[in-house]
Structure 1
């Protein structure tokens, strides 16, 4: 006879569902969500230069087109966080992915750069909350002792996705075909096909959300205990292969503040935001916002301009200028203006290099994520940040391009903290404002990267050495500030999962 536990805290009830098939299926869905977001946001790095010849865009217009995704993210991240906290993670993610696919795929039929920019802005608005909401949904369906690993692995997914884009673009952009579409008066060429390929993961993500469970933690936070218990039983059945009757829980309590109910859109939006701006949550909101600004401002610009950097180094090596400093190699390679070079596609070797670097960092993230519970995520975050900062500061100290390249890769490992830092966000905020908090802190970080991207490009051209000193130094300071982060949450004993 099975004796039902009278009442359990949510974390204990989730822990009893075990860790297995459901969690791996959830991670697969999460992969499609992260890939969809990455492909839409980063696609401009490949589509803008590839479309330059057909759309006849100037440097200013190309810069405007490339900036659309970040503007879209900043514009709607807060909005998606509110909806996810009030309407549900699953429903909002399904809408995000569907809208992103429609707008992103439509960009393949753009007759000019203005329409392209508008559609990419809309698609980025749609995926703005995807990363934060995917992390939130994943964390709220994963037992606590496995949560940090699963959430941290999303950085590997993102990095592999950006690297995969570089590889996909090589054969697609080399296709030589052209189909005239009279109604739109456009030539359907390889860059438009590449745009459609990049939009595909969004469609897969939408389908995945259709077949997924809603977050049981969210259901509890809005008073739907019966539905939450049904989801927990479903997870238990998928993970263990046993009947739902064997799940020894009859009642679940959230065990945290669920906030005050409010009526109306604006009052509800304020209700989701105000708690983050006053004690006791204010301290964590400010601290995490500062950390996200440092991490994103310091590292994200280098991800954006990595093809530019890789292309410059490759060209210098091909000319035999491999005895110069890293910055001298960049200057010597990019003295020729883009207008003098009529090639409208990215260099294949540079894209392969981007892929190798992305996969290398992704592999490192996977290793670190696997041992994060043994080292501690706070120690891991601080260690990665300090090592990355020191590497960035040392890039200018050698004239060996190989050593400089190794240091650059070490510096860019700071991107791992995108995921490690997110594990703090999904743990330290109560459920009723969790998605809003994750979206808000991510929005602040991504907003700062807009300035970082423009500043870095200017410095790489006019004062390359200063660029590494500024961004490397800021990254190092972020490691010191990391000591102020909350201590790691003690993991729940694995014994309960074995029952």
Structure 2
């Protein structure tokens, strides 16, 4: 019996592959990618305080070291987005992970804070596009009816692995060893071992990408219809357990603009960028860039310095200073610990608390991701942003450090909007510029938080109360601007196809 040739749109063809084992396997691979990215970017929150004594760093130097990974994101996100849109998501992700492991592990041999900053800059350059590219690949391999849930779930993974870092740090940083390395004239101590541990997931991510499929949507957009069909058949076989021959699709239609072909590196990169900077995509590019900037600047600094904040509070409690306010405890801890007393250890209870906070927020994200289709992602995003903004403004109103700490945790729940806003990003743009667009908007957001990270550290030490008014107000403003977002992804899709 001869099979009937059936030409279908890509989204319909992807839906026919089902949602099952392959999608869960891809999520596991994506976990390793997110873990590698998070460990390289956020590791400074643990490594900078831990190496402050050995590298003899000042508050300003520590702020610069903590912001260096985000500078790497600014430097190369555009480049990785271009490569992913022209060379494929899978290949570029594999190279990113390999380079990140090389530079991340090498930071364990830093001779001073400058070398450490350079190596962290290079490792962050390597992982700059991994979150956005992984998100793009995951969305292009997931049927539309499950896509928002899977994409928003990545925030849960991100928050969970950042909390996991705190748990990993406890046993490693409390090891008692010091091995002198004459060639570099350094002491190989626990914080250096932690650098290698944090780099390890990048190697796992590279291996996972090697065994993964390329995005069938990308293959179709560059004219590789047969390869796209083979990928879809492979996904169908894994998800359903049936023979690939039972997949009744023999011809595909992308159903969107694939862009104009161009020759040469610069003209090609320009052709990937220009559509984002002119109608009909320009207003969406600007709106999402502004919102990512506000969201990341408002929450990322607190995520970065959370170990420092909780460590300061716990040390103050241990000293019996429970009658002080939240900010007074931080100032007292800064004066009593750190480089002034050569005590750069991190409080174990504080690290467990960081893990608990991260898991709590991650669980909340699972709950909200489950109801996102019922409530509506725009409504959910706005309500969360406005609520956390108000809570941030109210942290100083309590004289109890316990109440202020609880309010801080509630405020940080606004970081869940990173994932919810990303669900808009992956729906806005046509395939031929999607990776570039997601990378650029995330780059603007993360890049802007470099300034916030440095400002917050100075404020926590010298003007803690003002920090909550500044950052809380910024978060609230983001909630107001979010009213400009369209109510449904189809609004994006229709406009993006009208070129």
TM-score, with normalisation over the residues of structure 1? Answer: 0.95
Cα distance change on mapping 1:453 and 1:114 into 2, 3 Å: closer
Q: After the TM superposition, which of the residue ranges 399-408 and 327-336 deviates more from structure 2?
A: 327-336
Counting only pairs closer than 5 Å after superposition, residues 168-317 of structure 1 correspond to structure 2 as 168-317=168-317
Equivalent residue of 1:8, what SS? Answer: strand
User: How far apart are residue 58 of structure 1 and its match?
Assistant: 4.1
SS in 1 for 2:141: coil
Residue by residue, what CA displacement relative to the aligned partner does 1:145-202 show, whole Å, maximum 9, x if unpaired?
1111111111111111111111111101111122333433333221121111101000
Match of 2:415 in 1: 415
Asked if 1:165 is matched to 2:132, the reply is no
Give the corresponding residue for 2:425: 425
SS in 2 for 1:340: coil
Measured in 2, the distance between the counterparts of 1:11 and 1:136 equals 15
Q: Please, which runs of 5 or more residues in structure 2 have no aligned partner?
A: 492-499
C-alpha distance in structure 1 between counterparts of 2:263 and 2:490, whole Å: 37
Is the 1:365–1:416 contact (alpha carbons within 8 Å) kept by the matching residues of 2? yes
Matched, 1:142 2:138: no
Alpha-carbon shift at residue 366 of structure 1 (Å): 1.2
Higher deviation after alignment, 67-76 or 50-59: 50-59
Q: Aligned partners of 1:419 and 1:215: how far apart in 2?
A: 21
Q: Distance in 2 between matches of 1:66 and 1:294?
A: 19
- 1:296 alignment partner, SS class: helix
Give the equivalent residue in structure 1 for 2:405. Answer: 405
Structure 1 residue ranges without an equivalent (≥5): 492-499
Change (3 A) 1:446 1:56: same
What is the CA-CA distance between 1:328 and the residue it aligns to?
Answer: 3.0
Measure the CA separation in 2 of the matches of 1:44 and 1:329.
23
Equivalent position of 1:393 in the other structure:
393
Q: Equivalent residue of 1:402, what SS?
A: helix
In 1: Cα distance, 2:65 partner to 2:391 partner: 32
Q: Matched residue of 2:263: which SS?
A: coil
Q: 1:455 to 1:6 in 2, by over 3 A?
A: same
Q: Who is 1:82 aligned against?
A: 82
Q: How many equivalent pairs are there?
A: 491
For residue 452 of structure 1, report the CA deviation from its aligned partner. 1.1
Aligned to 1:29: 29
What residue number does 2:327 align with? 327
- In 2, distance between residues paired with 1:45 and 1:129? 20
Structure 1 residues 178 and 71, CA gap change in structure 2 (3 angstroms): same
Correspondence 1:19 to 2:7: no
How far off is 1:337 after superposition?
A: 6.2
1:296 offset after TM fit, Å?
A: 0.5
CA distance in structure 2 between the aligned counterparts of 1:195 and 1:302, rounded to whole angstroms: 22
Q: Distance in 2 between matches of 1:37 and 1:4?
A: 45
Q: What do residues 455-498 of structure 1 show as CA deviations (whole Å, max 9, x unaligned)?
A: 2222223332221122112111211211211222369xxxxxxx
Distance 1:332 1:52, change over 3 A: closer
Aligned residues of 1:2 and 1:248 also touching (Cα < 8 A) = no
The yes-or-no answer on 1:102 pairing with 2:102 is yes
| Whole-Å separation in 2 of the counterparts to 1:65 and 1:328 | 25
Whole-angstrom distance in 2 between the partners of 1:190 and 1:334: 23
1:450 — aligned with what?
450
Does the Cα contact within 8 Å between 1:2 and 1:246 map onto a contact in 2? no
Pair 1:55–1:408, CA change in 2 (3 A)? closer
Q: Distance in 2 between matches of 1:330 and 1:409?
A: 16
CA contact (8 A) 1:82 1:436 kept: yes
Query: Matched residue of 1:187: which SS?
Result: strand
Contact 1:315–1:333 (CA under 8 A) maintained in structure 2? yes
Looking at structure 1, the residues matched to 236 and 63 of structure 2 have their Cα atoms a distance apart, in angstroms, of: 50
Tell me if structure 1 keeps the 8 A contact 2:313–2:333: yes
SS class of match (1:467) = helix
After TM superposition, give the deviation of residue 60 of structure 1 in Å: 4.0
Distance 1:223 1:176, change over 3 A: same
- For the pair 1:125 / 2:125, whether they are aligned, the reply is yes
Partner SS state of residue 180, structure 2: strand
Whole-angstrom distance in 1 between the partners of 2:322 and 2:178: 40
Q: Aligned-pair distance for 1:340? A: 2.2
CA distance in 1, matches of 2:14, 2:4: 15
Paired with 1:378 and 1:136, the residues of 2 have a C-alpha distance of 20
TM-aligned CA deviation for residue 33 of structure 1: 0.1
Moved more, 54-63 or 441-450: 54-63
- String of CA shifts for 1:407-438, please: whole Å, max 9, x gaps: 11111011101111111100111111100100
Q: How far 1:345 moved relative to its partner? A: 2.3
Question: Equivalent residue for 1:441?
Answer: 441
Change (3 A) 1:60 1:405: closer
1:115–1:459 distance in 2 versus 1, CA, 3 Å = closer
State the alpha-carbon separation in 1 of the partners of residues 232 and 284 from structure 2. 30
With over 3 angstroms needed to count, the CA separation of the structure-2 counterparts of 1:59 and 1:390, relative to structure 1, is closer
Which digits, 9 at most, give the CA deviation of each residue in 1:349-371, with x for residues without a partner? Answer: 22121111111101111111122
Judge which range, 119-128 or 108-117, deviates more: 108-117
Separation (CA, whole Å) in 2 of partners of 1:332 and 1:342: 16
Aligned CA distance change for structure 1 residues 422 and 2 (closer, same or farther; 3 Å): farther
Alpha-carbon separation, structure 2, partners of 1:449 and 1:86: 29
The worse-fitting range, judged by mean Cα deviation, of 314-323 and 4-13 is: 314-323
Residues 206 and 129 of structure 1: CA distance in aligned 2, closer, same or farther (over 3 Å):
same
